[in-house]
Structure 1
Amino acid sequence: MSGPAPFSRFEWLIAWRYLRARRAEGGVSVMTWISLIGITLAVFALIATLAVRSGFREEFVDTILGTNAHLTVYAVPHATPGGGTSRVIEDHVAMTDRVRAVPGVVHAAPLVKGQVMATHRGANAGVEVYGIAPDDLAAIPRIADPQEAEGTLADFGTGDIPGIAIGSGIARELNVGLGDTLKLISPDGARTAFGTSPRVSNYPIVYIFTAGRWDIDRTRVYMPFDEAQVYFNREGAADEIEVMVADPDDAESMALPIAQAAGDMALVWTWKDASGSFLRALDMEDNVMFVILSVLVLIAAMNIVSGLIMLVKNKGRDIGILRTIGLTEGSILRVFFICGSLTGVVGTAMGVALGCAFAIWIDPIFAIVDGLAGGDVWDPSIRGISFLPARLEAGDVLSAVALSLGLSFVVTIFPARRAARMNPVEALRYE
């Protein structure tokens, strides 16, 4: 005659009776609640951290790819007629056409770059000027479609004095707006018979953008390509060629064909080369945070062990009676396993709900925290991006669920086995 099937209805009923028993009846409901709350908070913290981590990484990478080239082509340093060296690209038109023809390249544009001093009514700021054609500027995602913008990109480079585009951080620091004139001062300016004198030029501001990256919004100025060639003494030349490819993650494999197309005197630098150290730091931080929060989940799961040990001790007489009337060791083990695992399952479910809610409504939650703290909780100059992002990923949620349930089930086995191996004679001897 075979015994009852595992996890039969009576085993669930006994386990449920023990979980909801009052302390006066030999139950440990207080410890059960402590275990439940601990698991809930630990899973919530794990999911919330993973969501913010994923959101921060996505936002950071998106600002890189949305405002910078996926690959950049430079010229190898070469000698100039005056005896110096230069890295300007003289044949930038032909080189750009060759690079643009490489399969997988979606856009290529020559660029002139230079660092200058921007000034307006006594306020000064160091900025980096990007000389770029209007059509090429419109192809940069975070500039053509930024988080916030004033003016229109159609006015860029128009007028008798060509209009320029600046980041919102520059506008705030110099207290300038649309229609104002920004003075740019370059130390390497006009060449005269007496040497090189600083070049001072005034440009109207026709477009103010917020790309979402503090260092870009605070330092970047876009100037029409032809005007930048004159301003930086690059007549007929460019400093680099910015390349956009169909798959930015595949940029490293695209470097060789682009370098071959550009010619022997070209060097190629990918976005991963430029930001590789930061990305590696993010990966290391991700791993460390996951380990730390996994320990937090383990500590919360250990509360289940404490509660179950107390429950087994208080229910010794019941265990003896159950064994006497015919319950097997396996049935006793499963009863107490259900007691512990139910706490883990319910706590995990509640933690997942709280963590997902936090990630979904992070903006109003953060606004409340920022208001209670008096503002300036998030400093873009330190974090690099202008807001706290969060992104829920199925893999992160499943990892948190698997970790919590796995630990809850494992730690429950040991006190459950202790209950199953209890000698009914010893349990009833003094009853």
Structure 2
Amino acid sequence: MSSPAPFSRYEFLIAWRYLRARRAEGGVSVMTWISIIGIALGVMALIATLAVRAGFRTEFVDTILGANAHSTVYMAPQEIRNEYTTDVYVVPGRIQDYDAMADKLALVPGVTRTAAIIRGQVMASANDNSNVAEVFGVSLDDLKAMPRIVDPETSVGDLAQFDQGIAIGSGIARELAVGLGDKVRLIAPEGAKTAFGTSPRVKAYTVTYIFSAGRYDIDRTRVYMPIAEAQSYFNREGVADEVEVFVEDPERVADWTLPLIEAAGQGAQVWTWQDASGSFLSALDMEDDVMFVILSVLVLIASMNITSGLIMLVKNKGRDIGILRTMGLTEGAVMRVFFLCGAFTGIIGTIIGVILGVLLALNVDSIMALLNTITSGGAWQPEVRGIYRLPAELRAWDIFRAVGLSLLLSFIVTIFPARRAARMNPVEALRYE
């Protein structure tokens, strides 16, 4: 007669029977529940943390790319030497024939759109309030192509009237206490040159559009102005400061750096969104790895309770083990029975943890909003985090990692007590029975 195959049905039945401890063996039952709860909480925390970290990175990148270029092409600063005094002056690089350069950059494979812009720093003031602002001179068509700026759910005003005024961020509008139709004075330090020196340039503009890009720093400092007006205001007639470039895959924007430099010509330089935010993104990736390791240790600690519970179970079931061995069960069969006891605990705890983790991740935004209300805004500060809410993004790979880690640790920690049960001498087990 051939021996039963490993993990036969009777092994599962015995393991399940042992796992449901009787009232007289309450200690084993308590340890089992502690193991299940510990593993469930560890898996829940791991899934929720990974979802929040993934959602935070996605939201952070989306708010950057929704209101900024993927790459910016500009000319290197130039040195001008005074032939009479031999003094050397460094002046910012300007793009003379910016339309032609934008057309050449648009021909680079993978580039989806280009736009020439004017940039300048000003002081914005209204109603006895003031704030530093960064002005972007753009065309109406280029402004309409920015998804975070033209989102109708987060903006007010009519973009068709953009040529008649300026578009400002919601943060500036709030700090200056202005709304649609109000006037905002823009003060640039470098204005008209007179016999007494350079006087600041001051001009009032009508607010025709108020947007919210989803990033605190952009909403608090960004002002959009028609490019022709920006050229006049900043004394940049006939030139542009930069050409913004948008590519098919922003995550691989570095692949376009060399082709863009070659297309732009001598003296051109490229600055990508990853160059501007690369250190922060690297910090996020590092924090993801650190958090995964820390929470993995928590899951391991919770899994160790399985070992304690199985050791107690083996001790309480010594008589049963002796009887099963004398009935013909092999060491391997006994080992598999107690291995299944620990595996059941790990599987049940993991399933509960996955359910709780998914529910927590799906409702984390509402939970943070409640905590923010209780703490009067202290739980989530947009000026520190840069974005207005705590998002969560459930990814199948993150759930798979959490489940795989939990099950792997649960299976590993059951091996020692299962082997101890298998090596128990049936004679010794039944000697005092």
* 1:181 equivalent among 180, 183, 203: 183
Q: 1:117-171 deviations in whole A, cap 9, x for unaligned? A: 111111111111111111111111211226611112222113xxxx111111111
User: How far apart, in 2, do the equivalents of 1:174 and 1:428 lie?
Assistant: 87
Taking structure 1 as reference, are residues 257 and 5 closer, same or farther at Cα in structure 2, changes over 3 Å only? same
Secondary structure (helix, strand or coil) at the match of 2:389 reads: coil
Identity value in percent: 66
* 1:156 equivalent among 162, 166, 169: 162
Contact kept in structure 1, 2:168 and 2:222, CA below 8 Å: yes
**Match for residue 235 of structure 2?**
233
Q: 1:368-400 deviations in whole A, cap 9, x for unaligned? A: 333333444210111111100100111000000
Contact kept in structure 2, 1:164 and 1:222, CA below 8 Å: yes
**Match for residue 257 of structure 2?**
255
**Match for residue 73 of structure 2?**
73
**Match for residue 223 of structure 2?**
221
Secondary structure (helix, strand or coil) at the match of 2:108 reads: coil
Amino acid of the structure 1 residue aligned with 2:59:
E
**Match for residue 118 of structure 1?**
124
1:48 deviation in Å?
0.2
* 1:99 equivalent among 105, 108, 121: 105
The structure 1 segments of at least 4 consecutive aligned residues displaced by more than 6 Å after TM superposition are none
1:80 deviation in Å?
4.9
| TM-align CA RMSD | 1.6
Secondary structure (helix, strand or coil) at the match of 1:142 reads: coil
User: How far apart, in 2, do the equivalents of 1:302 and 1:231 lie?
Assistant: 69
User: How far apart, in 1, do the equivalents of 2:178 and 2:213 lie?
Assistant: 18
Q: 1:324-375 deviations in whole A, cap 9, x for unaligned? A: 1221111111111111000100110111111111122222222333333344
1:26 deviation in Å?
6.7
Contact kept in structure 1, 2:368 and 2:379, CA below 8 Å: no
**Match for residue 199 of structure 1?**
201
User: How far apart, in 2, do the equivalents of 1:133 and 1:35 lie?
Assistant: 62
User: How far apart, in 2, do the equivalents of 1:292 and 1:146 lie?
Assistant: 42
**Match for residue 141 of structure 1?**
147
User: How far apart, in 1, do the equivalents of 2:372 and 2:304 lie?
Assistant: 35
**Match for residue 13 of structure 2?**
13
1:300 deviation in Å?
0.7
**Match for residue 41 of structure 2?**
41
Contact kept in structure 2, 1:73 and 1:240, CA below 8 Å: yes
1:37 deviation in Å?
0.2
Amino acid of the structure 2 residue aligned with 1:67:
A
Amino acid of the structure 1 residue aligned with 2:41:
L
Amino acid of the structure 2 residue aligned with 1:142:
R
**Match for residue 59 of structure 2?**
59
Taking structure 1 as reference, are residues 242 and 341 closer, same or farther at Cα in structure 2, changes over 3 Å only? same
**Match for residue 109 of structure 1?**
115
| 1:210 corresponds to 2:212 | yes
Amino acid of the structure 1 residue aligned with 2:318:
G
**Match for residue 314 of structure 1?**
316
Structure 1 residues 356-365 or 136-145, which shifts more?
A: 356-365
Contact kept in structure 2, 1:146 and 1:211, CA below 8 Å: no
Q: Please, which runs of 5 or more residues in structure 2 have no aligned partner? A: 83-87
1:282 deviation in Å?
1.1
Number of aligned residues: 427
**Match for residue 333 of structure 2?**
331
Amino acid of the structure 2 residue aligned with 1:429:
R
| 1:168 corresponds to 2:174 | no
User: How far apart, in 1, do the equivalents of 2:349 and 2:299 lie?
Assistant: 11
User: How far apart, in 2, do the equivalents of 1:323 and 1:303 lie?
Assistant: 27
Contact kept in structure 1, 2:106 and 2:113, CA below 8 Å: yes
* 2:357 equivalent among 355, 358, 371: 355
Q: 1:153-198 deviations in whole A, cap 9, x for unaligned? A: 222113xxxx111111111112111111111111111223332101
User: How far apart, in 1, do the equivalents of 2:2 and 2:158 lie?
Assistant: 81
Structure 1 residues 135-144 or 405-414, which shifts more?
A: 135-144
User: How far apart, in 2, do the equivalents of 1:277 and 1:244 lie?
Assistant: 21
TM-score w.r.t. length of structure 1: 0.96
1:86 deviation in Å?
2.7
Q: 1:275-333 deviations in whole A, cap 9, x for unaligned? A: 11111111111111111111111111111111111111111111111111221111111
**Match for residue 132 of structure 1?**
138
Amino acid of the structure 1 residue aligned with 2:330:
T
